[in-house]
Structure 1
Amino acid sequence: MPHVTVVQGGGENPVYQVGGKSFVFFRTPRADAFDPETGERYDDVIVFWVPAEEDKLALVSDESNPFFTTPHFDGHLSVLVRASRLGELTVRELTEVIQDAWLSRASNRRATTWLQEHRLS
């Protein structure tokens, strides 16, 4: 995706941004995302922005995919996925999630230009 920069988060984790706005980032282990059997915090959670609440609900309520959320992200336009479960997605599905994340955070001009260049508008 164009105009992407990568900055380091507080835990040295990569944060992907467009125009200074995060659209994908790797979380440090947090108390809200943990293994229900062991209580161990997940150390491989990735956050993807989504365009709208409807998109978030569609992704987290479809049990055939690995996306989830936690109460910490209530009202936040993003979904979570463990890196260890990315293989459950096709390349096309993952590409669409990343593109949607980028489009949801890019400026209108950048998003419109990208969509026109890819004949998606």
Structure 2
Amino acid sequence: MPDQERRATVEDVHELALGMPHVTVEHGKSGNPVYQVGGKSFVFFRTPRPDAVDPDTGERYPDVIVFWVPSESDKLALVQDQASPFFTTPHFDGHRSVLLRGSRVGEITLRELTEIVQDAWLSQASRRRATDWLDAHS
């Protein structure tokens, strides 16, 4: 079992998402992976967009990962701390998701990333799949 307290990596995002049950991977127009459960995205690697830019240079972030969250309160808990690597943009107002730059994944532990990916999956999985997974992992 990997050391859960080590710093997370982008590769961990892929491994954790693929490790959840009933996951399929679609690819966007640019080949970016979109992890889905039951046809619903729960983690995806976003292409550079005008709403997520470096405040100093205006350059679009090339490494944004989107994670679904269970609720608006979960989203706020992740993004309201200025030191948190998670963020949102006005484009995602009202959307139950948070953003994380790949270059900042190492600011959280593998344990924290595991929880984020599992919560993302649970927020999009069918009730039956979620219940079955929770019963098996309680």
User: Could you state the TM-score of these two structures normalised by the residue count of structure 2?
Assistant: 0.85
Tell me which of 66, 71, 81 is aligned to 1:47: 66
Query: How many residue pairs get matched?
Result: 119
Tell me which of 97, 116, 121 is aligned to 2:135: 116
Match of 1:107 in 2: 126
Q: Secondary structure at the match of 1:36?
A: coil
Match of 1:58 in 2: 77
Structure 1 residue 111: Cα displacement: 0.2
User: Could you state the TM-score of these two structures normalised by the residue count of structure 1?
Assistant: 0.96
Query: Is 1:91 matched up with 2:110?
Result: yes
Q: Secondary structure at the match of 2:48?
A: coil
Letter of the structure 2 residue corresponding to residue 52 of structure 1: S
Question: Which consecutive aligned stretches of 4+ in structure 1 deviate over 6 angstroms post-superposition?
Answer: none
Q: Secondary structure at the match of 1:87?
A: helix
Structure 1 residue 69: Cα displacement: 0.2
Tell me which of 7, 12, 15 is aligned to 2:26: 7
Letter of the structure 2 residue corresponding to residue 13 of structure 1: N
Structure 1 residue 118: Cα displacement: 0.5
Structure 1 residue 18: Cα displacement: 0.3
Letter of the structure 2 residue corresponding to residue 43 of structure 1: P
Higher mean C-alpha deviation, range 61-70 or range 77-86:
61-70
Letter of the structure 1 residue corresponding to residue 98 of structure 2: V
Structure 1 residue 41: Cα displacement: 0.4
Tell me which of 81, 92, 95 is aligned to 1:76: 95
Structure 1 residue 11: Cα displacement: 2.0
- In the alignment, structure 2 segments of 5+ residues that lack a partner are 1-19
Structure 1 residue 65: Cα displacement: 2.0
Identity %: 76
Counterpart-to-counterpart distance in 1, 2:25 and 2:81: 30
RMSD of aligned residue pairs (Cα, Å): 0.7
Letter of the structure 2 residue corresponding to residue 75 of structure 1: G
Structure 1 residue 6: Cα displacement: 0.5
Render the CA deviation track for 1:58-106: whole Å, top value 9, x for unaligned: 0001233200000000000000000000000001100000000000000
Counterpart-to-counterpart distance in 1, 2:113 and 2:81: 15
